Amino acid sequence: MDIEKLNLSSNYRILVTGGAGFIGSNLCEALINNGNFVRCLDNFATGKRENLSHLMSNSNFELIEGDIRNSKDCQKACSEIDFVLHQAALGSVPRSINDPYTSNEVNVSGFLNMLIAARDAKVKRFVYAASSSTYGDSKNMPKIENIIGSPLSPYAITKYVNELYANVFSKTYGMETIGLRYFNVFGRKQDPNGAYAAVIPKFVMQLMDHKSPTINGDGSFSRDFTYIDNVIEMNVRSITSSNLKAVNTVYNVAYGERTSLNELVGLLKQYLGEYDSKISTIDITYGPERKGDVPHSLASIDKAKKFLGYNPKFDIKHGLKHAVKWYWENLR
Ligand code: NAD
């Protein structure tokens, strides 16, 4: 992605935790392509070596194989770093329902380790992956940052606790933090496999295999699906913003439109159908609703526009076309 226009200096030293994962590896690549030094801390719990293989020989890239639950690994990773983009976590609502303890250990204790290490290393700013799940059972639409409901899953609790810790660290230790509440991110390198795969890569793979995708519920649930390049833009803006009113807070990271699951599958069938016409005739299967799922999710992106100048370039259709092309060319 071209992020040069965002004044990203070419000599920052940036730590991306979870840099072998979907969002993290895209961040590593974009930052390196713009001339920065990038260090990645990852334990490969869900991340993949192939996401980083093209960066391994780059002298501006360093991999630390380690665990955010280990404070020494966090200290080593934060040493001589300007900015932290903390992405490492165990994602997925169902995973946290099946194993709340491990999600808490990684997402809360690991987060605290990273905050302490970043504070002690005196990094300039700590930007972290928060989540739209923090809106919980709030019926408010669109979601505005300062109105949240009660969490609906252990995962949502962990992501909310991250925000509380970041806020206290900024007040108590004078750290600069920014939390980015991602809304259903999708795009190249998102893992389609495993029990906890996200819906877009899972459906793309099923359709490419001529299998019927299964929607949980009647397909009316909707999401503000957000293309990866919009997420990269927000991370870069969070690093580069010199507006001190923009820090020590959280932002929605979304496009600001919602799409139902039925509409989503329709678009995927249409775009994949351009590569293989049989795909456009595949029927949808409907299954039971999932525990912890929020019916509708739509973000207001006004705060990000106002304070960080966010100007997302990719709506769902534009993003899906790019994503589908990537899956067709790389994973078929
Ligand atoms: P991902 O699973 O692809 O990436 C997470 C990365 O963290 C992986 O590389 C994994 O190996 C690493 N990791 C996990 N536990 C670790 C540990 N103990 N120590 C070191 N590394 C560890 O997930 P993603 O979709 O790229 O998500 C990145 C971040 O964004 C996460 O914090 C997630 O909660 C958040 N988020 C993602 C979405 C989304 O739609 N993808 C939405 C909201 C929030």
DSSP string of 23-67, one letter each residue: HHHHHHHHHHHTT-EEEEEE--SS--GGGTGGGTT-TTEEEEE--
Q: State both tokens at 193.
A: 């496999």
Is the minimum distance from the CB of 268 to ligand 1 under 6 angstroms? no
Q: Which amino acid is at 224?
A: D
Q: How far apart are CA 22 and CA 98, in angstroms?
A: 22
Q: Measure the CA angle with vertex 182, ends 207 and 271; round to 5°.
A: 25
Q: Which amino acid is at 286?
A: Y
> Residue 282 in contact with residue 269, Cβ under 8 Å?
yes
Side-chain half-sphere of 187: how many Cα atoms within 13 Å?
A: 25
Give me ligand 1 centre to Cα 325, in Å: 23
Helix (H), strand (E), coil (C) string for 137-193: CCCCCCECCCCCCCCCCHHHHHHHHHHHHHHHHHHHHCCCEEEEEECCEECCCCCCC
Mutate to test the pocket of ligand 1, among 78, 131, 252 (most ligand atoms within 8 A of CB): 131
Give me ligand 1 centre to Cα 157, in Å: 16
Atom of ligand 1 nearest to the CA of 182: 43
Atom of ligand 1 nearest to the CA of 159: 34
Q: State both tokens at 245.
A: 């009113």
Is the minimum distance from the CB of 47 to ligand 1 under 6 angstroms? yes
Reduced DSSP (H G I as helix, E B as strand, rest coil) percent helix, strand, coil of the chain, to 5: 45, 15, 40
Known active-site residue 155: yes
Q: What is the predicted pLDDT for the residue at 82?
A: 97
> Residue 110 in contact with residue 275, Cβ under 8 Å?
no
Give me ligand 1 centre to Cα 273, in Å: 31
Distance of CA 67 to the CA centre of its chain: 19
Question: Phi-psi category of 219—alpha, beta or left, where left has phi over 0 and alpha has psi -120 to 50?
Answer: left
Q: What is the predicted pLDDT for the residue at 144?
A: 98
Atom of ligand 1 nearest to the CA of 88: 7
Give me ligand 1 centre to Cα 262, in Å: 26
> Residue 181 in contact with residue 129, Cβ under 8 Å?
no
Low-confidence ranges of the chain (pLDDT < 70): 1-7, 9, 292
Q: How far apart are CA 101 and CA 298, in angstroms?
A: 29
Residue-range domains of the chain with CATH: 10-187+228-256+297-314 (3.40.50.720)
Pairing of strands 259-260, 222-223: antiparallel
Q: State both tokens at 244.
A: 């001190």
Is the minimum distance from the CB of 185 to ligand 1 under 6 angstroms? yes
pTM of the model: 0.97
